[in-house]
Amino acid sequence: MQGSRILLIVGGGIAAYKACELVRLIRRAGASVRCVLTEGGAHFVTPMTLAALSEQQVHTSLWDLKDEAEMGHIQLSRQADLVVVCPATADLLARMAGGLADDLATTLLLATDKPVLAVPAMNVRMWLHAATRRNVARLREDGVTVLAPDEGAMACGEYGPGRLPEPTAILAAIEAALAPAPAGPLAGRHVLVTAGPTHEPIDPVRYIANRSSGKQGFAIAGALAALGARVSLVAGPVTLPTPPGVTRIDVETARQMAAAVEAALPADAAVMVAAVADWHVADATGQKIKKRADGVPPAIALAENPDILATLVRSARRPALVVGFAAETQDVIALATAKRVRKGCDWIVANDVSGDVMGGADNAIHLITEDGADSWPQLPKAEVATRLAARIAEAIA
């Protein structure tokens, strides 16, 4: 980021205070920041605060004669290397998607010829509303990078997806957006990858999970990025480092992963590596379940989780290539072949997990396509990823 120039548009939401920390992090990384503060944003942070942190003039109005004389808004929109909208409220996303230009922020966004990164933050119901989902999808189709929000407690008292990601995560997305696009057969292609397990809460301290380490999915995401793809990695709760050039969206539960996958579309290909829990606890409690005096364990009712792979295959925005994964302990090829037909995906990557594959360093897979099964020898997971990425490139490049 050294020497890069960031134009930061601060929208009107309670999360606007995090923009101040983001300015500090960007400057610490060696880039300069020029801030545009919307009318709504000015209700939460002041121009003086942003000016002091950025050591740059803060712009607030399209009609400021002095600003227009010194630096017109068209020039302002094009001098930056990257435009970041943080927080991007539901209203601001809607106006961006509609191509409005009725204030300084939206005029700059419409006039810029530079990449745009939007970081949403809003009430959970607003984020999940069909109108917001349409607007996010439209912006992504237009080439805007829209991060998925975090899930957590809201200032309004509700809980769910809609929280602004932490400034360190936003900085990582900015660094990825500024990184030179690698040349390769997948340049210009967007690939969605899921990885890791999901955790389904029983109570605040216990959960249902599986043994997936996420290593294979992360390796595949990195291999695809190395071939030039723009990769969105929806990751369950793992502690692996994000592969270079990959945009990472962290989730915990299967339902969160389903929402993140939908938000990441459209994509040219999807590689669904994650070991998603089949069920969640229907009556998860907000209090720790205590042991009973009589020693009888609690009854836990389970409800079925969304089938992310099948839903993606049926989606109107189905990627051209959908790759599923099948972890089996017996009759691997037969069960995976049946799964490919049942789910309707193009390929299934199957492996025998009766040993120490989950969490291990190696994998021996069978690539199931409509032409049959191609069995690979046991290889390091990084080599499996490289081979699979090459096959994907042949299919969609």
**Range 379-394 burial, b when 16+ CB lie within 10 A, else e:** bebbbbbbebbebbbe
Q: At what angle do helices 130-141 and 254-264 cross, to 10 degrees?
A: 50
- b/e per residue 233-254 (b: at least 16 CB within 10 A): bbbbebebebbebbbbbbbbbb
Active-site residue (options: 20, 86, 156, 345): 156
Residue 245, by phi and psi: left (phi above 0), alpha (psi -120 to 50) or beta? left
Selection from 113, 92, 116, 121 nearest residue 104 by Cα = 92
218/237 Cα distance (integer angstroms): 12
3-state helix, strand, coil in the chain (%, to 5): 35, 25, 40
Q: How many CB atoms lie within 10 A of CB 205?
A: 9
| Spatial contact of 39 and 103, defined as CB atoms under 8 Å apart | yes
Q: How far apart are CA 232 and CA 261, in angstroms?
A: 9
User: Are 41 and 75 in contact, with CB atoms under 8 Å apart?
Assistant: no
- Which residues fall in the annotated binding site? 278, 288, 306-309, 325, 339, 343
Q: Which residue pairs from 105-110 have beta carbons closer than 8 angstroms and sit at least 24 positions apart in sequence?
A: 105/9, 105/11, 105/36, 105/38, 107/62, 107/73, 107/77, 108/7, 108/9, 108/36, 108/73, 108/76, 108/77, 108/83, 109/9, 109/77, 109/83, 109/85
Structure tokens belonging to residue 296 = 């009888």
Binding residues for CTP: 278, 288, 306-309, 325, 339, 343
Dist. CA 104–CA 38, nearest whole Å: 8
**Is 156 tagged catalytic?**
yes
Catalytic residues: 156
